[in-house]
C-alpha cells in the first residue's frame, strides 16, 4: 500500500489524515496517510527516514514549509514564488515540491462560496507565510486591487515590492499598515491571514473595511466565531467563512497531484465543519 504523511511540529491537531482517508475511500484508492511530528531541527532526517521506508509523498506544515522547498530537487513556480512548499512527491532520488495553499483558498472562495474575485477589491490581513503563499493565486484570479495590511507595515510593503520585482501585481498589489485602511473604504473580500485568531486577539480594523456584500474569510478553522469574524459580523459583513474549505481544497489538489484522481470536496467539508456561531 502506498504511504503518505503530513509532517509538522506540533502535529497532533492535524485533520489531514482524516481528510485523505475520506478521499481515499471515496475514490477507491488504496493508501495509508499518517501524521509525523519531526523534531524542530530534524525535518530532512524525518523525510529521509519516511522515504527509505517506502513513503511516496508528504504534506508539510508549520514550521517546515520553507525547509520543504530547500529539500526538493524540483520546485514548482508557485512554490518558488511563495518561498514555501506544502507538498512533496518522491520518485527515486527525485523530489518535487509544490504549494497548494493558495489554489485551495481561491477554489474555496470562488467555487464553494461562489464569491467572485475577478474585478473585485481584496484586502489581505497579514504578511506571513500563509499570506505570501496566497498572493499569486489570488492575483491570477483577477482582482482590481489586492491590498496587504500588516501589523508591521514595512513587512507588508516589502512583500508587495518583492512581488513587483517578480513582475507580479503591478498596479494591483500594494501593502501598508492598519492606519492605511480607514481611507480605503469597503472591500469585497477581507481575508484574515494573521495568526491573531489562534490567540483570540481582535485586529484594529476600521469597521468601514466591511460592506454589506463583503465576504470576511478567516484562514483559521475550527475555532467558531473568531474575534475577526465577530468584528466583521458586527460591522455588517454579508458573509462569513473560516479556513476549513481552504484546508480541504489544498488537500484535494495534493491528492490529485499524487494519485491522478481529484476527489469531491463538499462532502468532506460538510463532515468536518464546525458551526461558526
**Total binding residues toward ligand NDP, as defined by CB under 6 A:** 27
Closest separation between CB of residue 229 and ligand NDP, Å? 13
Active site residue 65: yes
| Contact between 119 and 143 (Cβ < 8 Å) | yes
* 171 alpha-carbon distance from chain centroid: 24
Closest separation between CB of residue 128 and ligand NDP, Å? 2
Going along 73-209, which residue ranges are E strands? Answer: 74-75, 87-91, 94-98, 121-125, 145-149, 173-176, 187-192
- Check binding of 124 to ligand NDP (CB under 6 A): no
Instruction: Using CB under 6 A, pick the residue from 203, 235, 240, 241 that binds ligand NDP.
Output: 203
Closest separation between CB of residue 144 and ligand NDP, Å? 23
- The response to whether 167 counts as a known ligand-binding position is no
Distance, CA of 59 to CA of 65 (rounded, Å):
9
Strand order in the sheet with 173-176: 173-176, 145-149, 121-125, 187-192, 210-218, 239-241
Instruction: Using CB under 6 A, pick the residue from 219, 232, 241, 269 that binds ligand NDP.
Output: 219
Pairing of the two strands 55-60 and 87-91: antiparallel
Residue of 65, 120, 155, 223 with catalytic role = 65
- Check binding of 126 to ligand NDP (CB under 6 A): yes
- The response to whether 250 counts as a known ligand-binding position is yes
Within 231-250, which residues bind ligand NDP (CB under 6 A)?
243, 246-247, 250
Residues annotated as part of the active site = 65
Amino acid at each position: 500500500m502506498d504511504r503518505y504523511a503530513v509532517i509538522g511540529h506540533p502535529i497532533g491537531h492535524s485533520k489531514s489524515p482524516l481528510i485523505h482517508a475520506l478521499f481515499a475511500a471515496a475514490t477507491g484508492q488504496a493508501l495509508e496517510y499518517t501524521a509525523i511530528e519531526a523534531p524542530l531541527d530534524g525535518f530532512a532526517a524525518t523525510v529521509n527516514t519516511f522515504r527509505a521506508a517506502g513513503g511516496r509523498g508528504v504534506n508539510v506544515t508549520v514550521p517546515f514549509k520553507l525547509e520543504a522547498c530547500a529539500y526538493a530537487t524540483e520546485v514548482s513556480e508557485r512554490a518558488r514564488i511563495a518561498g514555501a512548499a506544502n507538498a512533496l512527491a518522491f520518485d527515486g532520488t527525485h523530489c518535487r515540491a509544490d504549494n497548494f495553499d493558495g489554489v485551495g483558498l481561491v477554489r474555496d472562495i470562488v467555487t464553494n462560496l461562489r464569491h467572485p474575485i475577478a474585478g473585485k477589491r481584496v484586502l489581505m490581513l497579514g504578511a506571513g507565510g500563509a499570506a505570501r503563499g496566497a498572493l499569486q493565486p489570488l492575483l491570477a484570479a483577477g482582482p482590481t486591487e489586492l491590498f496587504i495590511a500588516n501589523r508591521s507595515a514595512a513587512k507588508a510593503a516589502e512583500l508587495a515590492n518583492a512581488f513587483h520585482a517578480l513582475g507580479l501585481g503591478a498596479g494591483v498589489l500594494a501593502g501598508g499598515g492598519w492606519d492605511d485602511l480607514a481611507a480605503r473604504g469597503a472591500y469585497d473580500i477581507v481575508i484574515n491571514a494573521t495568526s491573531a485568531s489562534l490567540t483570540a486577539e481582535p485586529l484594529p480594523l476600521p469597521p468601514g473595511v466591511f460592506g454589506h456584500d463583503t465576504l470576511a474569510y478567516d484562514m483559521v478553522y475550527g475555532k467558531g466565531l473568531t474575534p475577526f469574524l465577530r468584528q466583521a459580523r458586527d460591522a455588517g459583513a454579508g458573509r462569513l467563512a473560516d479556513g476549513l474549505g481552504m484546508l480541504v481544497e489544498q488537500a484535494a489538489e495534493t491528492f490529485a497531484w499524487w494519485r491522478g484522481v481529484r476527489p469531491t470536496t463538499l462532502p468532506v467539508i460538510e463532515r468536518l465543519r464546525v458551526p461558526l456561531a
